Amino acid sequence: MSDITEQLLRGTSKGVGAKAALALEDGTVFFGAACGAAGEAFGEICFNTSLEGYLEVISDPSYAGQIITLTYPQIGNYGVNLEDAQSGKPALRGLVVRDMCATPSNWRSDMALGEYLERNGVVAIEGVDTRALVRHVRDHGAQRAIVSTVDDDVDSLLAKVRASASIVGQNLAATVSCERPYAHTAHDMPDSVRFALAEGPDARFSVIAYDCGVKRSILDGLVRAGCSVTCVPWDTPAEDVLAQHPDGVFLSNGPGDPDAVSGTYSQVGKLLGKVPMFGICLGHQMMGKAAGADIEKLKFGHRGGNHPVMNLLTRRVEITAQNHGFGVLFPSMGELVPDLSGGYTEHHDDLRFWVRAGIAPVVRNERFGRIRLTHVNLNDGTVEGVAFLDVPAFCVQYHPEAAPGPTDAHYLFTAFARLMEGRKDYLDIDIAADRLAGWRFGAEAAKELANA
């Protein structure tokens, strides 16, 4: 924080918080002011580019083990409405912002964001040049970091962060999963959004959801697709799940290194082919691991609400919400089937090759038969979705619940319902119409779209 900024703040009702520091393991250090709980926090530094929805980001269990940098300049201006929180308690290690609003204005606000962070023990720093920090992470990659309000000695901070644990190899899903099964129904959805969202349909499907750190909005999305949901712990045996005779099994989002979550993907391998399955984010990676795929750690991950994804089946581009630091390597899932891949026999690491070719390639997996690439990230050519052709299962790397983010991918909840109905065309959906489903204005808007 510059001297001029500090002088200006001292003359306002906000004032200047206690000194705070952020240090990265490569020696980069930023100084600012505390705007959350006092103390120190260690984690992997990452950044999220969403323009709104900071509470949903902060309360997403997938951020366990991480220090989040929010790139939008001012955070907290509309306060905190607790019904928007995605979990009972935030799992992130720390928060970095340019400016924290101390006096929010919103009819739904329960408290200021700084108060929420302090109540939940989240160490946070403001006054950081987040543009410079994000550029540094993009250039040099994700790395360990420390946020401290009690130590501003550079040598001390660097010694601490370099002695801290890496996120690689940690099973963080186990730290945010539920301890025992619980149900999620229409009665669990927040009352304060009923002015905008219509009532969901009656439950037609019984779904077991593996809770690896599931967001509440994802469960709401399943309920709005006609599912009665029972969440179970991350390592629940497949035999226990099948004994309940569900119509489908859902694999949730979650934090950390997917290679470390063997208690989930080992069970997924037993479930595939026995029951219709849908996975997102970590759930996508769990399906990949069950099929023998290799996992890569991305340089700085995909986090935000503006990531373009090509749907290879419909040739539509979806603007998606994402939050992950690891990804599945599609070529490792099997050899290409030339007859179903435009005659091609060679894999390409950059999957945008298939976007340009206009082909949704298929591989032959040793364990589960044919698997089709369905979605590709247009920023870096990584895999964003696959569909199993010989067993009823599909998965995507991004977040269709869009909390926060656009609703382009809402159709995937509908697709899961159609998969449980036994339809072969479950992914053949007009996403432009489906994204309006569930909103109170949706029926009229869909009617206008159909008549256009």
- Which residues carry out catalysis? 281, 399, 401
CA dist., res. 17 & res. 295, Å (int): 42
Identity of the amino acid at 253: N
**Do residues 332 and 293 touch, judged by C-beta distance below 8 A?**
yes
Phi, psi of 445, rounded to the nearest 5 degrees: -65, -40
Instruction: Confirm whether residue 27 is marked as ligand binding.
Output: no
Instruction: Confirm whether residue 323 is marked as ligand binding.
Output: yes
Which of 383, 389, 333, 324 is closest to 353 using CA atoms? 383
Instruction: Confirm whether residue 256 is marked as ligand binding.
Output: yes
**Do residues 24 and 143 touch, judged by C-beta distance below 8 A?**
yes
Which of 301, 298, 309, 406 is closest to 67 using CA atoms? 301
Instruction: Confirm whether residue 416 is marked as ligand binding.
Output: no
Instruction: Confirm whether residue 127 is marked as ligand binding.
Output: no
Instruction: Confirm whether residue 77 is marked as ligand binding.
Output: no
Instruction: Confirm whether residue 377 is marked as ligand binding.
Output: no
CA dist., res. 117 & res. 61, Å (int): 15
3-state secondary structure labels for all residues of 52-119:
CCHHHHHCCHHHCCEEEEECCCEECCCCECHHHCCCCCCCCCEEECCEECCCCCCCCCCECHHHHHHH
Non-local CB neighbours of 11 within 8 Å, separated by 6+ positions: none
Instruction: Confirm whether residue 282 is marked as ligand binding.
Output: yes
List binding-site positions for L-glutamine. 62, 254, 256, 282, 285, 323, 325-326
List binding-site positions. 62, 254, 256, 282, 285, 323, 325-326
